């Protein structure tokens, strides 16, 4: 990935891939480390990279946990996976960027449904979650930083990078990018109906699952959008997805 502007083409539909081209293939069933091994309800855990990658790729928001001078922070952030790494970005003056190299924990959670039981105790949610532990390394190489920024744009909306102005040198200078290797990671998920106590099945209380999903709404144009500019191909593809 170089520094030349991306080619803009509005004639073909954007690819609906979840991430940019991966430099290598994930290894399924990677043994967990002591830090990533799930101990509570271990039957819900998996260490399959294909599953972990799918959660990272579907999630829109991650939380980055980092301790700075003994004070823990959990920072919501956009993220993008490219191959065997997850990238995050932010202002060069932000806490996370200024503490590049620090140990971090990044999590992504997808909420799939409300699990409504017959007792208050057994209420739950159906979910899929991924956790990555490692060190957030600063990305200095301009080509790799552009690759990451392209991945962020494509993660938000596939095909968007080719429709917009690429980052300027000033914007690149003011934006920090961190890379977290996917060498220690795990996933955990719950699915299915509530698990009630046997005697509670006789209660006259509705129980079951209410599925949840995120769907796009009608586009809301920028108040300063010039007349005659319609939603782009990438936006239209999202609405049809």
Residue 145 DSSP SS3: helix
pLDDT higher than threshold 50 for residue 126? yes
158 vs 206: CA distance, rounded Å: 41
Digit-coded pLDDT (tens) for 139-165: 999 999 999 999 999 999 999 999 999
Select from 2.30.110.10, 3.40.640.10, 3.40.50.10490, 1.10.1060.10 the CATH code of 42-194+227-240. 2.30.110.10
Query: Which sequence spans correspond to the domains of the chain?
Result: 42-194+227-240
Residue 25 DSSP SS3: coil
* Residue appearing with tokens 């099945």: 201
13 vs 10: CA distance, rounded Å: 8
Q: What is the mean pLDDT of residues 231-235?
A: 96
pLDDT higher than threshold 80 for residue 228? yes
Q: Are strands 45-46 and 185-190 parallel, antiparallel or unpaired?
A: antiparallel
How high is the pLDDT of residue 226?
A: 96
pLDDT higher than threshold 90 for residue 108? yes
Reported as a pLDDT band with limits 50, 70 and 90, residue 10 is very low
């Amino acid at each position: 990935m170089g520094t030349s502007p991306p080619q803009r083409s509005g004639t073909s539909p954007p690819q609906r891939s979840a991430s940019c081209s991966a430099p290598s293939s994930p290894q399924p069933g990677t043994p967990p480390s002591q830090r990533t091994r799930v101990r509570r309800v271990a039957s819900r855990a998996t260490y399959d990279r294909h599953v972990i990658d799918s959660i990272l790729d579907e999630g829109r928001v991650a939380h980055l946990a980092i301790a700075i001078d003994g004070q823990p922070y959990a920072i919501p952030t956009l993220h993008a996976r490219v191959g065997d790494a997850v990238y995050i970005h932010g202002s060069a003056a932000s806490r996370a960027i200024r503490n590049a190299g620090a140990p971090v924990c990044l999590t992504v959670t997808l909420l799939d449904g409300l699990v409504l039981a017959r007792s208050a105790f057994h209420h739950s949610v159906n979910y899929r979650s991924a956790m990555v532990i490692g060190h957030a390394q600063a990305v200095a190489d301009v080509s790799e930083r552009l690759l990451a920024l392209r991945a962020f744009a494509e993660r938000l909306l596939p095909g968007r990078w080719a429709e917009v102005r690429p980052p300027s040198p000033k914007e690149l200078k003011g934006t920090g990018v961190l890379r977290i290797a996917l060498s220690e990671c795990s996933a955990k998920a719950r699915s299915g109906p509530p698990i009630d106590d046997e005697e509670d099945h006789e209660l006259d209380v509705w129980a079951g699952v209410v599925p949840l999903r995120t769907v796009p709404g009608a586009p809301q144009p920028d108040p300063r959008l010039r007349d005659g500019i319609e939603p782009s191909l990438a936006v239209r593809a999202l609405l049809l997805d």
